[in-house]
Each structure stands twice: as C-alpha cells, then as structure tokens.
Amino acid sequence: ARAAASSAPLTPGALADGTAVPLLANLGKPGGAAEAVELGAEGVGLFRTEFLFLSSTQAPTVDEQTAAYTELLQAFPGKKVVVRALDAGADKPLAFLNDAHEDNPALGLRGLRALRASEDILREQLTALANADKATDADLWVMAPMVATVEETEYFVSIAREYEIKIAGVMVEVPSAALLADRVLAIADFASIGTNDLTQYTMAADRLLGSVASFQDPWHPAVLRLIKATADGGKANGKPVGICGEAAADPLLAVVLVGMGATTLSMAPTALADVRASLLTHTLADAQRIAAAALAADDAASARSAAQAAAENAA
Ligand code: PEP
Ligand code: MG
C-alpha cells in the first residue's frame, strides 16, 4: 500500500467528491519543514515548541525564539502554520517550570496551567511569535495546550490578542473542553484535537504506561463521541476543528474523523501519503456513513471493524 500511495501525485488533500481536507504536518523543529513540504504538507497543523525549552535549564530568549519561529514560517509562504504555546509538564517536564513534585503530573500544573503560573514565559513566547509573523508572510495561527475550561479559553484568546496574534485557538485534549466545545468555540477562533491526550484522559490510562496501553486507542467510541462533540461545536460556531493527534495518521480513522466533521488533519509527514490516498477513495457521504458505523460500536476493536466493513461497502 505504501508504494502505491507514495507514487500518487501530491495533490491537496481531498475526498473522492472533491471535498477539500487540507493535510498538514506535525513538526517539532523548524528543520523538519523542508521534508514536510516535499511530502506534500499543505502547511503545519501542530508545531511543538517544546524543543526550544527542553534542552536548556532556563527559558530561551525572545531573540532565540524569534529566530526559530521565523525559520519555520519562512518555509511556508502563504500557508497556514499552527504553533502551539509551550506544553510543559507530565510527559514533557521542564526543570524551570515544573519544579514542585506532583504525584500525578498528567493531572497537575501542565500546559496552559503552567504557562499561567509563569506568565512571563507565555508573554515572551507570544512576543517572539508576533515578531516572526511580522517578518514573514505565512498564515500564523497560535493555540494553547491542555485547555480544560471556557475561562482558560477566554484567558488565552485575550492574551494572544494583546500581541496582535490574529488567529488564536485551543487544543481540545481534555474531555471537559470537548464536552463544552460549543462554548469554547464561541470564543476560540479554532480548535485542534489532540487525540493522544484526549484518549489518555477519556480512558484514564497513562499514555506512557505499557500495562494500560490497550486503553490508549483513539478508535474507542468514547473518544470518537468527544471528537464528534468538538466538531459539532465548531460547526455550530462556524469555526474550524482540526485533528493533530496520532489518530489522524491512521488512514481509515482519518476518514472517520472527516466524516465526523474534522476540517483538517495534521500528522507526522511520513503518514501524509497513505492518508491522502485513503481520503481519495471515499466521498463525504461515505465518510459520514463510515463514521456513524464506528460511533455506534461498543469498543475500539468493533469500531475499527465496523468502519472497515462500512468502507468496503462504500468503495
Ligand atoms: C496530543 O495530545 O494528541 C497532541 C497532539 O499533543 P502531544 O502529543 O504533544 O501531547
Ligand atoms: Mg497533548
């Protein structure tokens, strides 16, 4: 399948009926941009900024950050680039931010919570992003990680606006935010669903713990229902809802996600070819039927096989 998929022309992501589904890249360093473009990324759906912070015992300077974000944005002229504010804590601990011991760091002061507790770091990051935005002509979107409440959404959107960030959104990776998506998306300009953490928190199963790995499956209908609720919240407010967790890299699950209303898919660049090929084999009506079959299942394995069966019928 890989050989056939990778020889397909690098047309923009679309379903068989022409419905556009922009295919974006998840990147962790500006240096990955060239390869992503070569593999057909239409922009960046998740730029993880942690790399700038993890290698150091203190926060990078505004100048260092400006240089890194400028390098990234320069690689995508006229294209959308979604940058995530620093997501520290839990699986991404930072000595200078997450200093207090926590028994349950995944449930602790992480993501946007940690940034609020050290707001100067957030302000410096937004300053650097605004600098890079002015110096380049990419379409910069900025989002906050680990948002759980409407109030956090208001906080992030309003602080981003202080720095003239034109498009400010949130990651939906905590079930509370998915359940409140209609309210969250009344305020945020967009949402991007992080299926890795959304699955971890929905299933109460540590994403790094092998003994509970069977629970860490984004095909679980409980996770799918939350994704659907988030997409519905976007639709109700006329706001885009993308997917940037690993789920988007699964060619069949990608069809389900689009069938539930996801407007863009972002993934590791090496996954783009197979997802592009898979989307091209189904219309939007097919994708909606395939999604409905998965949503009606009781568990992850039956959701996957129900979607598979529906996809075979549709094709
Ligand atoms: C996610 O949680 O799905 C996500 C995209 O963010 P990360 O994997 O960096 O936590
Ligand atoms: Mg996450």
Binding site membership of 197 for ligand 1 (Cβ less than 6 Å): yes
For 246-278, the pLDDT digits (tens) are 999 999 999 999 999 999 999 999 999 999 999
* Residue 291 burial by Cβ neighbours in a 10 Å radius (0-12, 13-18, 19+): buried
Ligand 1 centroid to Cα of residue 146, in Å, is 9
Mean pLDDT of the chain: 95
For 126-140, the pLDDT digits (tens) are 999 999 999 999 999
pLDDT at res. 2: 45
Q: How confident is the model at residue 3 (pLDDT cuts 50, 70, 90)?
A: very low
Please report which helix (H) or strand (E) contains residue 83, including its range: strand 80-84
3-state secondary structure (DSSP) of residue 142? strand
In angstroms, the CA 231 to CA 56 distance is: 37
Q: What percent of the chain has pLDDT over 70?
A: 97
Binding site membership of 244 for ligand 1 (Cβ less than 6 Å): yes
Its sign, for the CA torsion 249, 250, 252, 256, is: negative
ipTM above 0.95, yes or no: yes
**Start-to-end C-alpha separation, the chain:** 16
Q: What percent of the chain has pLDDT over 90?
A: 89
Q: How confident is the model at residue 93 (pLDDT cuts 50, 70, 90)?
A: confident
Q: How confident is the model at residue 101 (pLDDT cuts 50, 70, 90)?
A: confident
pLDDT at 57 over 90: no
Q: How confident is the model at residue 64 (pLDDT cuts 50, 70, 90)?
A: very high
* Residue 50 burial by Cβ neighbours in a 10 Å radius (0-12, 13-18, 19+): middle
pLDDT at 6 over 80: no
Exposure class string for 296-311: b at 16+ Cβ within 10 A, else e: ebeebeebbebbeebb
Nearest residue (by CA) to ligand 1, atom 9, is 48
For 184-229, the pLDDT digits (tens) are 999 999 999 999 999 999 999 999 999 999 999 999 999 999 999 9
Give CA 265 to chain center in angstroms.
Answer: 8
Would the pTM of this model clear 0.90, i.e. be above it?
yes
Ligand 1 centroid to Cα of residue 65, in Å, is 21
User: Dihedrals φ, ψ of 56, to 5°?
Assistant: -130, 160
Binding site membership of 195 for ligand 1 (Cβ less than 6 Å): yes
Identify any residues that bridge with 265 across adjacent strands, giving them in sequence order.
23, 243
Number of H helices and E strands in the chain, helices first, is 15, 8
pLDDT at res. 19: 98
Q: Annotate 97-122 with DSSP letters as a single string.
A: T--S--S-GGGSS-THHHHHHTHHHH
State the closest ligand 1 atom to the C-alpha of 91, by its place in the atom list counted from 1: 10
Ligand 2 centroid to Cα of residue 194, in Å, is 5
pLDDT at 114 over 90: yes
pLDDT at res. 4: 46
Alpha helix locations (H) across 163-220?
Answer: 175-179, 181-187, 195-203
Binding site membership of 111 for ligand 1 (Cβ less than 6 Å): no
Binding site membership of 196 for ligand 1 (Cβ less than 6 Å): yes
Q: Are 148 and 177 in contact (CB under 8 A)?
A: yes
Of 26, 53, 143, 197, the one to substitute when testing ligand 1's pocket (max ligand atoms within 8 A of C-beta) is: 197
Please report which helix (H) or strand (E) contains residue 299, including its range: none
